[in-house]
Structure 1
């Protein structure tokens, strides 16, 4: 018996089993195997099955409106300059695609301050930042990356050393780098360290540069000049060489006021502060002389290379010594007002406001470092005043004229106090080395702050802490409006104006109670002083944020998602 296989196949082996032509296991067990004698169907040309979504034959696929690209290629609409074709054939500026959560549309026009433009971009996620407009340079390939990073760090160093907030320093560095064509940049500010990282592309290694701020000084004249330079770089498109020349010119500029003018301003500041708490002409002179002596001693300690802590210790001693001397002589002088006036000139309100502002805007490391610095300086003041008060109380334990409660409770002369507050703000402007055209605005702002505080505290009977916060909020609001009007920093219009609100009397009363051994009363007074200081800082920051939130200049608009800020941690 023989087996019949496929045509042209097969002979059997001696055992009768077709080993060579035995069907495979698939053929043997498949239900679709044709019966014997039926030929197999022809093999199809393409064995790959087609998708059920494939287009039928004869139907031409639509031509895509835009070419497909890499997922890492930024869309053409993100530059703000390249028009994106619409389906109708017209060109519209915008984004080539829209994620489900939406993309904020940012209008970065040059008619608004650069702070608003750059701060808007800093508060956006990195992947959603559009490239701002900048001047196209066809005659050159562009400046070298290391030189741009160096210029950016030098500008940030001056701003940070001058007391500018970390967010504003990063905004300035961000704007300078973008103006010279560096798009993927990330500036970082942490108290004394500045760094910036630039990544040419997603496959290239980043370039990082850093700079350390070794010395800090107060010169708002230089600070304003740097703001104007950044505005020229981001808006006018000046070359890198012109920017370097402008920066060198700023560094060579002398201070607008001589050293003897600063000493005189320190005396006027203490004299004006003593009049706020009820001092007369003799108290004014005594407080001014004590403050000027302390200022000269601090300059001497600085020239000898002593740390700033010891400079505050020696600066706080002469005003306290003048007050104790009047108390020991039993003169008809309010000795407490003399010491309180001296404390007004020493309380580091500028550093306090900057520290709280950094904390409220999310720069916690910088805020913690700045507040720690404020703590050290206040401890220096405490050491200087307490050492003198302790000696005075040992000589005469019954120094009743050092008690400030009577003068602060009974004295209420609005006209005198308004004049004293404006004099205090004017002296602060000189100490901060402000430009002369900003002095009048800051002085008027200080007078307004005291009027608002006096009306809320003395007339409306509001607690001193919320009254101080409201007055400081108006200072921050007016300062931010003036800075936006002049495209400058807000510090020259704010720092001097909060001088009349500083908690000099509460600080002194706490120190006096410590010297007298009344620990509970001293702690209570110092807690009140800390509360007032924090109220000033929070109020200034809140006023600035209100100005940015509700009075946004035309041309800076966030359509989708609103204004970016840090998210709430929700407790974890």
Structure 2
């Protein structure tokens, strides 16, 4: 009698010889010792031959006389294309594989992962960091760089975060867009070895969060931007510092970065206050010439703008908010225009007032606001637009106070006189546009080597606008302004790539000739004279021109980035933009 378990051969034979009934009994209840012994052949019955080793039997073998079942379909995969998806040809699959794309159904993540985006070192740091910011965190590549560490234990994270916030503060206070500020903060943090960093930029608050690992507590620091100033010389110096930090060819330690940052903060402005006052007068005079003024109009507008500039300085020294700076600065140009009209002098009073308004319109803040809105920073864009509205209201209050007084005194202001001779003096108009851009660049405290290129860019903008708006083309002024502003943004981005610097010094001053000074004045004059329909129509036109300038500048910059892009970044941007457009 065999043992209850039987030998291996016996046990295997007994389980196979029992047939389907035994398998069904096994499914119904567990086997016991008696059940095992029931398969042992009784005494006197010979054992069957031992199966050959090369053809072992199996409990899953199909009994004789039964047809084998068809093989089941292969188990589906989460990465396989769904049913009904047409397979691509082999040539197309090879082409996509060589291009770094996943062949087949591209809406699903490939089993091998998303191809890594390689950001070459030849592209500017702005493009590399902007590409990473526009990608989801899970798909961001690790930047190829040499970490700048203070010792072998790694970078001092709190000090790196503090340096990052201080650099972002200078950029945001200088007028840079929120996306460019985040790109700079991202680049500085990555250069010093902090990979898991998330910067956040709003209109007045900067914050950055760093998480060393998935199990460590994150470090978060913030900084408030309380004071803003227009100094593109300082802005360019900060860009050079960030470029050196992000470059692998230059070694910048934390101590050296702090030292250079202190020097940037203490750096004196390149132009004195009186130089800025003269520049504001030249800007107003050139703007009055653009709208048809003569040489007498030029000097009258210049005098009014310089008086307004000195009053604004006095208000600033007394600690008044910026709103009142614009109120008092708008009053002298309007007063000079009213005085010229009351004196019955042969001077176009409307051109005098229009020239003074050109120096006050916040074109820089408007362009930055629209740029932030187009790039998805809606909170910052809303705050910037609100700032622009307050400044424009200040200009309106200052001009309307004087215009109401002038109308009561009997001053005759005719809007049509400011439009005479605009298209008949092309050379004078081009020279006036270039002078306006030059004066605007000085007011922005630009570096001297950037003033010439900005001046040429402004002259080109006015040539394009005049060629499209005046005869024989006769295009709508809003469309002509948008095209000219687009070329300004395109040239500015190309020049900034060539210089590895910010695009603002090449763009902001160049849009000066395109600002809607005349439309703003006509709207205010209509309100002062009680003609509400004409006034609101002119103000609406001024708002449309301002938006055309801002959108054109942003579109030109995006076109420049489209053709000057880091390898692999275009595919990532296209994937993110298409999903966002569909509402995902």
The answer to whether TM tops 0.5 is yes
Given candidates 551, 555, 560, the residue that maps to 1:542 is 555
Per the alignment, residue 302 of structure 2 pairs with 288
Question: For residues 413-428 of structure 1, what are the structure 2 equivalents within 5 Å?
Answer: 413-428=425-440
2:291 is matched with: 277
Contact 1:287–1:342 (8 Å) recurs in 2: yes
1:522 aligned to which of 535, 541, 548? 535
**Equivalent residues in 2 for 1:372-387 (5 A)?**
372-387=386-401
Which deviates further from its counterpart, 143-152 or 403-412? 403-412
Q: 1:556 to 1:270 in 2, by over 3 A?
A: farther
* Match of residue 135, structure 1, among 142, 146, 159: 146
2: CA distance between counterparts of 1:163 and 1:35?
Answer: 88
Counterparts of 2:217 and 2:205, CA distance in 1 = 22
Distance 2:30 2:577 in 1: 67
Range that drifts further, 103-112 or 487-496:
103-112
Comparing 202-211 with 129-138, which one deviates more in the overlay?
A: 129-138
SS in 2 for 1:196: strand
CA distance in 1 between partners of 2:148 and 2:308 (Å): 55
Decide which of 139, 163, 184 is 2:196's aligned counterpart: 184
Q: Using the alignment, how far apart are the partners of 1:27 and 1:417 within structure 2? A: 103
- 1:512 and 2:510 correspond: no
CA 1:561–1:322: 2 relative to 1, 3 Å: closer
- Contact kept in structure 1, 2:333 and 2:356, CA below 8 Å: yes
Aligned residues of 1:166 and 1:363 also touching (Cα < 8 A) = yes
Specify the alignment match of 1:322 in structure 2: 336
- Give the Å deviation of 1:27: 9.9
Which residue number in structure 2 is paired with residue 199 of structure 1?
211
CA shift for structure 1 position 530: 0.1
Instruction: Tell me which of 485, 488, 501 is aligned to 1:488.
Output: 501
Three-state SS of the structure 1 residue aligned to 2:37 is: coil
1:313 deviates by 0.2
* 1:232 and 2:230 matched: no
What SS class does the counterpart of residue 200 from structure 2 fall into? strand
Note if contact 1:163-1:351 (Cα within 8 Å) is conserved in structure 2: yes
Alignment match of 1:405 (pick from 370, 392, 416): 416
Give deviations 1:469-523, integer Å, cap 9, x for gaps. 0000000000000000110000000000000000000000000000000011100
Give runs of aligned pairs for residues 77-116 of structure 1, distance below 5 A.
99-100=109-110, 103=114, 105-116=116-127
CA distance in 1, matches of 2:379, 2:578: 15
Is the contact made by 1:294 and 1:315 (CA closer than 8 Å) also made in structure 2? yes
d(CA) in 1 for partners of 2:223, 2:35? 89
Q: For residues 104 and 311 of structure 1, do their structure 2 counterparts lie closer, same or farther at Cα, with a shift above 3 Å needed?
A: farther
> Does structure 2 conserve the Cα–Cα contact (< 8 Å) formed by 1:109 and 1:556?
no
Report how many aligned residue pairs link the two structures.
496
| Kept after mapping to 2: 8 A contact 1:134/1:237 | no
Cα distance in 2 for partners of 1:180, 1:404 equals: 59
Residue of structure 1 equivalent to 2:351: 337
Q: Which residue of 1 aligns with 2:171?
A: 159
Matched, 1:313 2:327: yes
**Tell me, which stretches of 5 or more residues in structure 2 are unaligned?**
5-23, 41-57, 61-97, 102-107
Q: How many Å separate the matches in 2 of 1:410 and 1:467? A: 19
Q: CA deviation at 1:38?
A: 7.8
- For structure 1, which runs of at least 5 residues remain unmatched after alignment? 1-6, 8-25, 43-49, 53-91
1:126 to 125, 137, 162: 137
Deviation at 1:209? 0.2
* Counterparts in 2 of 1:32 and 1:223: CA distance versus 1, 3 Å: closer
1:464 maps onto 2:477 in alignment: yes
Is residue 469–residue 475 contact of structure 2 (8 Å, CA) maintained in 1?
A: yes
246, 267, 279: which one pairs with 1:253? Answer: 267
Distance in structure 1 (CA, Å) of the matches to 2:36 and 2:385: 94
For residues 154 and 566 of structure 1, the distance between their equivalents in structure 2, rounded to whole angstroms, comes to 35
TM-score, normalised by the number of residues in structure 2: 0.80
Q: Which residue of 2 aligns with 1:71?
A: none
Contact kept in structure 1, 2:282 and 2:436, CA below 8 Å: yes
Per-residue CA deviations over 1:194-253 (Å, capped at 9, x if unaligned) read: 000001111111110000000000000000000000000011341111111111111111
Q: Distance in 2 between matches of 1:180 and 1:110?
A: 16
Q: 1:559 to 1:535 in 2, by over 3 A?
A: closer
Give the structure 2 partner of residue 497 of structure 1: 510
- For the 8 Å contact 1:469–1:538, the answer to whether it is kept is yes
Whole-angstrom CA distance in 2 between matches of 1:31 and 1:156: 73
Query: Alignment partner for residue 221 of structure 1, among 233, 253, 259?
Result: 233
Shift in alpha-carbon separation, 1:37–1:293, aligned structure 2, 3 A: closer
Query: Equivalents in 2 of 1:280, 1:36: separation in Å?
Result: 121
Q: Using the TM superposition, give the Cα deviation of residue 104 of structure 1 relative to its aligned residue in structure 2, in angstroms.
A: 5.1
What SS does structure 2 have at the residue aligned with 1:188?
strand
Alignment check: 8 A CA contact 2:438 2:451 kept: yes
Q: What is the CA–CA distance in structure 1 between the aligned matches of 2:290 and 2:164, rounded to whole Å?
A: 44
When residues 551 and 143 of structure 1 are mapped into structure 2, their CA distance, relative to the original with a 3 A threshold, is: closer
Q: CA deviation at 1:565?
A: 3.7
Aligned pair in 2 of structure 1 residues 129, 403: CA closer, same or farther (>3 Å)? same
- From 272, 279, 284, give the equivalent of 1:265: 279
Which secondary structure state, in structure 2, belongs to the residue aligned with residue 264 of structure 1? helix
Does structure 2 retain, via aligned residues, the 8 Å contact 1:298–1:311? Answer: yes
Residue 174 (structure 1) aligned with residue 186 (structure 2): yes
Q: CA RMSD in A?
A: 2.8
For the residue of structure 2 that corresponds to 1:489, the secondary structure is coil
User: Matches of 1:423 and 1:371 in 2, distance apart?
Assistant: 28
